[in-house]
Amino acid sequence: MPLGLSTDLYQLTMAAGYFEAGKLEERATFELFVRRLPHNRNFVLAAGLAQAVEYLENLRYTKEEIDYLRTLPQFAHTSPAFFDYLAELRFTGDLFAVPEGTPLFPNEPFLTLRAPLVEAQIPETYLLATIGFQSMIATKAARVVKAALGRSVVEFGTRRAHSPEAGVYAGRASYIGGCGGTSNTEAGMRFGVPVFGTAAHSWVMSFSSERQAFEQLQKLLGESTVYLIDSYDTLEGARRAAELGRPLWGVRLDSGNMVTLAPAVRKILDDAGLRETKIMATGDLNEYKIHELVAARAPIDVFGVGTELSTSADAPTLGVVYKMVELEDSGNRRYTAKLSEDKHTLPGSKQIFRYRTHDVLARSSECLNAPETLLRPVMLGGQLIEPLPTADEARNHAAECLSRLPASCQSLFERPEAWRVDLSPELEALYENVRKGIAK
C-alpha cells in the first residue's frame, strides 16, 4: 500500500520549498520525544519502531499520488522538476532509536533521524502517529498488567479502537506492554502475538437454550472452552457450566458486580470439583478497577481489557513531537531549537545514558560511563543494519526494564519525582549558546 500521502500536506509543501530553495544537500537531524508525561503516567514505554522502519523502507510516491499533488493550489508555482524528484525519492538516511519496550521520560528521544532535509521532514507525521500510538498503548498495557499483580491480562479492544488498523497495532503494543495476548487475529498472524477468544452473547442467543449453546461450544473447543455465563443469570450460568464439567478452560463474566459474583461462581465451580477452571472478567475494565478487584480479593484469574486499553481512555493522547535539532550544510553545522516560551526544545543530537537511579541526557558526542546507552543505530544509509527484535523480544525487554524501575515509577498515580533526568553540562552549555545566538 502506498504510504507517501499518509502525512500532513505541509510536509510536502515544505519538501517542495526545500527543493526550490536549493536545500537538497542539507542534512537535518530530528528527534522524536514527549515534552511531558500524560495524566498519571510516570514513564512512557517506547513501541512502534518496527512500523516506523517499515514506513521508511517503503516510502515512495506513485504516479497517481504525484498527479494528485499537481492538482493542488499549494503546488501551483512548484517547478515540474520537483515532481520528478519526488518520484525518485527514497529514504537514504540514518535512524537511531531506543529498542521497543524501553521506558522513557520527557525530552528523551524515542528516535533520532538524520537525513537530507526533505527525507527527514516528510516522515514526521507518520512517525509521530505510529510511534505515538503504540507507545501510548504499550504504556497503558504496562499499567493494567501491573495492577493485575501477576494475573493474566488479555487485550480485547479492537472493536473500540480508533479504526480497524488501530486495533491491530493496539494488539501488538499491548503485548509489548505485558499483556498475555490479544483478540485481534491479524495481530496474531502478523506479529506472533498469542490470540484469545471463544464466544459472545450472540452465540448463546443463537441457540434456543443456554445449555445447548454451552454444549456446542464445549464440543467445538474442548480444553479451550470458555463459557460466557452472564447472558441470562450469571449464577445459573455457572451451575450450567459446572454440570457440563470438563473439558473446560474457564468461564467469563461480562457484567454485574464482580466482587460478589466472582466468589459465588468460584464456589459453584469448586463444589463441582472444577478447581482448575479459570474465571475471566471482562466489561469496561481498566487498571483502576482491576486494582480494586485485586484488593478486594475477587477470585479472578484473567482480565480481558477492551475499550479502555485500546484507546488509553484515561489519557487518550500522547504529546509526541518531532523537532529539528541540527542542520548541516556543506560541513557547516547549526544547532536548532524552538524557543517560544511554552514550547521550547533542546538543541543538538542527544544520547540517553541510563544509570541505576536516574538518566543523563547528554550530547550524542559525549561518552559517559553509564551502565546503559539507550539510543542505538537502526538504519544507516537507508538500510536496516540488523533485523529488529520481534514483538516477543520487545515484550521481554519491557518486562526486564520495568522490573528495574523503582516502584514509584510504576505507581498508577502521578509521582512527579519518580525518576530524575539530568542534562549533562555540555548539553546545558549548548542550550545556553543557542539561546544567546538566536534569541535577541
The 10 Å Cβ neighbour count of residue 24 is 13
Of the candidates 230, 287, 374, 388, which one interacts with a copy of itself according to CB under 8 A? 230
Distance separating alpha carbons of residues 308 and 278, to the nearest angstrom: 23
In 58-178, DSSP assigns E strands to: 94-97, 103-104, 111-116, 152-155
**Residue nearer to a copy of itself on the CB measure, 174 or 410:** 174
| 309 sits near a copy of itself (criterion: CB under 8 A) | no
Distance separating alpha carbons of residues 4 and 10, to the nearest angstrom: 13
Distance separating alpha carbons of residues 134 and 51, to the nearest angstrom: 10
Largest interatomic CA distance in the chain: 81
Cβ 97 vs Cβ 378: under 8 Å: yes
Cβ 120 vs Cβ 29: under 8 Å: yes
Q: Restricting to residues 189-208, which ones interact with a copy of itself according to CB under 8 A?
A: 189, 195-203, 205-208
Q: Indicate the SS3 state at residue 86.
A: helix
| 168 sits near a copy of itself (criterion: CB under 8 A) | yes
**Residue nearer to a copy of itself on the CB measure, 336 or 410:** 336
Total residues at interface with a copy of itself (CB under 8 A): 118
**Residue nearer to a copy of itself on the CB measure, 61 or 105:** 61
| 6 sits near a copy of itself (criterion: CB under 8 A) | yes
| 432 sits near a copy of itself (criterion: CB under 8 A) | no
Of the candidates 53, 56, 142, 161, which one interacts with a copy of itself according to CB under 8 A? 161
| 407 sits near a copy of itself (criterion: CB under 8 A) | no
Kindly state the smallest distance separating residue 386's Cβ from a copy of itself, in Å: 25
**Residue nearer to a copy of itself on the CB measure, 307 or 373:** 307
Kindly state the smallest distance separating residue 371's Cβ from a copy of itself, in Å: 34
Span interacting with a copy of itself, options 103-111, 181-189, 294-302, 410-418, rule CB under 8 A: 181-189
C-alpha gyration radius of the chain = 25
Of the candidates 96, 110, 133, 303, which one interacts with a copy of itself according to CB under 8 A? 133
Kindly state the smallest distance separating residue 370's Cβ from a copy of itself, in Å: 30
Distance separating alpha carbons of residues 339 and 146, to the nearest angstrom: 38
In 314-412, DSSP assigns E strands to: 320-329, 332-335, 350-354, 358-363, 372-373, 376-380, 383-384
**Residue nearer to a copy of itself on the CB measure, 27 or 415:** 27
Of the candidates 31, 108, 119, 308, which one interacts with a copy of itself according to CB under 8 A? 308
Kindly state the smallest distance separating residue 77's Cβ from a copy of itself, in Å: 5
Q: Indicate the SS3 state at residue 400.
A: helix
The 10 Å Cβ neighbour count of residue 21 is 10
Cβ 241 vs Cβ 251: under 8 Å: yes
Of the candidates 24, 164, 408, 433, which one interacts with a copy of itself according to CB under 8 A? 164
Of the candidates 56, 98, 279, 318, which one interacts with a copy of itself according to CB under 8 A? 318
Span interacting with a copy of itself, options 184-192, 371-379, 382-390, 416-424, rule CB under 8 A: 184-192
Cβ 35 vs Cβ 319: under 8 Å: yes
The vertex-362 CA angle with 359 and 365, nearest 5°, equals 140
Q: Restricting to residues 248-277, which ones interact with a copy of itself according to CB under 8 A?
A: 254-256
CA 254 to chain centre: 26
β-bridge mates for residue 182, sequence order: 155, 195
Helix (H) or strand (E) holding 133: helix 124-147
| 351 sits near a copy of itself (criterion: CB under 8 A) | no
Span interacting with a copy of itself, options 116-124, 273-281, 356-364, 369-377, rule CB under 8 A: 116-124
Kindly state the smallest distance separating residue 435's Cβ from a copy of itself, in Å: 11
**Residue nearer to a copy of itself on the CB measure, 16 or 346:** 16
| 69 sits near a copy of itself (criterion: CB under 8 A) | yes
Residue 179, all three cell numbers: 499483556
**Residue nearer to a copy of itself on the CB measure, 84 or 400:** 84
